[in-house]
C-alpha cells in the first residue's frame, strides 16, 4: 500500500457569525481521511459542504480550530511543505495588469529557478494548458475559462508531487473540461497525486481512483467510485411481457414502467424473489433480470440530497 500523500487528521473549523455577540458555526467537523501517493482523489459535496474550507486549511490560508493535516509527512504549518504542492483556488483571479507569461514568471521566482529555467517552464506550461497563443495578452482580457487554465498552469509550474485543485472544471466549456481531464490523467501518469474538488460527478467517476463525499462539514464516505456506490443496497430490474388480460399486482404497478408490450419493474434486491413469485402467479413472461448499477450521482444525491448548506452549518454553543 502506498504511503499517504495527504493525511487529514480530525480537522475542525468553526467560524464566528454575526457582528454583535457573534456565535460560532461549525463548517468542518472532525474530518479525517488520507489521500494516497500517486492517486487521483475526488472531493465531492454540495455547496457549503466544506470542500473549499478543507483545501484552504491545507494551504494555510485559514487555520483549524482543532486537528491538523500533513502533506508528504510535513505539517501544514511548515512552509517548506508548500514547495511540494501546486494549488488552484476556487474561481481564481490573478493580477490583471500582467500578461499570462509575466504572471507565471512571477510565481516561478518563488521556486528559485534561473532566468532561463523560468522562461522554459513558463513557455512549456502555457502550451500545456492551451494558452501558447495568448501568452503575451494581459489577463484583464482573459475569459473565465482562460483564467482557469492560467490557474492550472501556475499550479503545475514547479512540477509539484501533490496538486490540489479546487473546482478545476468550473467555468470551462466542454473542450476546456476535456483538456483539464487530460492534464489530470497526465499528472497521474507522471506519478503525481491529484486532490481535486468537483461538482461534476461524471468527471469524478471517470478520473478518480478514490473519492470522498462531504456533506454539512462531515465526511459521508470514502472509497473507489465503484466500491462506494455498491456499498448501497442494490436494485434489480425485471423486464417482462404481461399476458393478455392479466393485470400486474397492484403493489408492483407503482414500480413499473410500460414500454410498448413490455414492462420494466425496478425492485430492491431483497424483494426480488417475492416479486418473481407474484409475476409467476400472473403468468407474465420474464425476459430478463439484471442488477441496476447505481452511479456516483445516485450515491451522491442519496447522501446529500436533503442537505442544504444553510441547514448544514451546525451552530455551536459556547
Partner 1 sequence: MSATIGPVAVNTFREAVRDRVLYNLVLFALVMIGAAILVGQISIGIEQLVIVNLGLTAISLFGLVMAIFIGVGLVYKEIERRTLYSLLAKPIHRWQFLAGKYAGLLLTLGVNTAFMTLGLAAAFFYVGGRVARADVSIVVAIYFILLELALVTALALFFSCFSSPMLSTLFTLGIYITGVFANDIHEVGEFTQNSAVLGLTRAIYFVVPNFHNFNAIAAAGHGDAIPFSLIWQNTLYATLYAALLLIAAAAVFSRRNLK
Residues that bind partner 1 (CB under 8 A): 15, 56, 59-63, 79-80, 82-83, 85-89, 91-95, 97-98, 106-107, 109-112, 151, 154-155
List, in order, residues 6 or more apart from 230 with CB less than 8 Å away.
294
CB of 33 to partner 1, least distance (A): 21
Distance CA 287, CA 290 (A): 10
CB of 164 to partner 1, least distance (A): 8
Q: Which CB atom, from 91 or from 266, has the smaller least distance to partner 1?
A: 91
**Cell reading at 87:** 494549488
CB of 84 to partner 1, least distance (A): 9
Other residues' Cβ atoms within 10 Å of the Cβ of residue 267: 20
Q: Which CB atom, from 180 or from 303, has the smaller least distance to partner 1?
A: 180
Report the first-to-last Cα separation within the chain, whole angstroms. 42
CB of 37 to partner 1, least distance (A): 20
Q: Which CB atom, from 136 or from 241, has the smaller least distance to partner 1?
A: 136
Other residues' Cβ atoms within 10 Å of the Cβ of residue 236: 18
The string over 182-206, giving b where at least 16 C-beta atoms fall within 10 Å of a residue's C-beta and e elsewhere, is: ebbeebbeeebbbbbbbebbebbbe
Q: Which CB atom, from 83 or from 231, has the smaller least distance to partner 1?
A: 83
Orientation of helix 115-128 relative to helix 100-108, angle to 10°: 130
Q: CA dist 257 to 141, 160, 249, 261, 298, Å? A: 52, 52, 14, 11, 19
Q: Which CB atom, from 95 or from 301, has the smaller least distance to partner 1?
A: 95
CB of 59 to partner 1, least distance (A): 5
Q: Which CB atom, from 79 or from 259, has the smaller least distance to partner 1?
A: 79
Q: Which CB atom, from 15 or from 123, has the smaller least distance to partner 1?
A: 15
Q: Which CB atom, from 155 or from 213, has the smaller least distance to partner 1?
A: 155
CB of 15 to partner 1, least distance (A): 8
CB of 287 to partner 1, least distance (A): 56
CB of 261 to partner 1, least distance (A): 59
Amino acid at each position: 500500500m502506498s504511503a499517504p500523500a495527504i493525511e487529514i487528521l480530525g480537522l475542525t473549523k468553526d467560524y464566528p457569525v454575526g457582528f454583535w455577540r457573534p456565535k460560532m458555526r461549525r463548517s468542518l467537523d472532525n474530518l479525517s481521511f488520507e489521500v494516497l501517493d500517486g492517486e487521483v482523489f475526488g472531493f465531492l459535496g454540495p455547496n457549503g459542504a466544506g470542500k473549499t474550507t478543507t483545501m484552504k486549511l491545507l494551504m494555510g490560508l485559514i487555520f483549524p480550530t482543532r486537528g491538523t493535516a500533513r502533506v508528504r509527512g510535513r505539517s501544514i504549518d511548515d512552509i517548506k511543505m508548500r514547495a511540494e504542492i501546486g494549488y488552484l483556488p476556487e474561481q481564481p483571479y490573478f493580477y490583471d495588469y500582467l500578461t499570462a507569461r509575466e504572471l507565471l514568471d512571477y510565481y516561478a521566482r518563488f521556486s528559485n529557478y534561473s532566468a532561463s529555467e523560468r522562461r522554459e517552464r513558463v513557455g512549456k506550461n502555457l502550451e500545456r494548458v492551451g494558452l501558447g497563443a495568448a501568452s503575451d495578452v494581459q489577463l484583464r482580457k482573459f475569459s473565465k475559462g482562460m483564467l482557469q487554465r492560467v490557474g492550472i498552469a501556475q499550479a503545475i509550474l514547479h512540477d509539484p508531487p501533490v496538486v490540489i485543485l479546487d473546482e478545476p472544471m468550473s467555468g470551462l466549456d466542454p473542450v476546456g473540461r476535456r483538456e483539464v481531464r487530460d492534464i489530470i490523467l497526465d499528472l497521474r501518469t507522471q506519478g503525481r497525486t491529484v486532490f481535486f474538488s468537483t461538482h461534476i460527478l461524471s468527471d469524478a467517476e471517470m478520473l478518480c481512483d478514490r473519492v470522498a463525499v462531504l456533506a454539512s462539514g462531515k465526511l459521508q464516505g470514502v472509497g473507489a467510485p465503484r466500491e462506494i456506490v455498491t456499498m448501497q443496497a442494490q436494485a434489480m430490474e425485471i423486464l417482462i411481457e404481461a399476458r393478455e388480460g392479466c393485470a400486474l399486482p397492484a403493489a408492483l404497478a407503482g414500480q413499473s414502467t410500460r414500454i410498448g408490450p413490455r414492462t420494466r419493474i425496478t425492485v430492491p434486491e431483497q424483494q426480488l424473489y417475492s416479486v418473481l413469485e407474484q409475476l409467476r402467479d400472473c403468468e407474465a413472461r420474464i425476459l430478463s433480470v439484471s442488477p441496476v448499477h447505481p452511479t456516483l450521482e445516485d450515491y451522491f444525491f442519496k447522501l446529500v440530497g436533503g442537505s442544504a448548506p444553510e441547514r448544514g452549518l451546525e451552530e455551536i454553543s459556547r
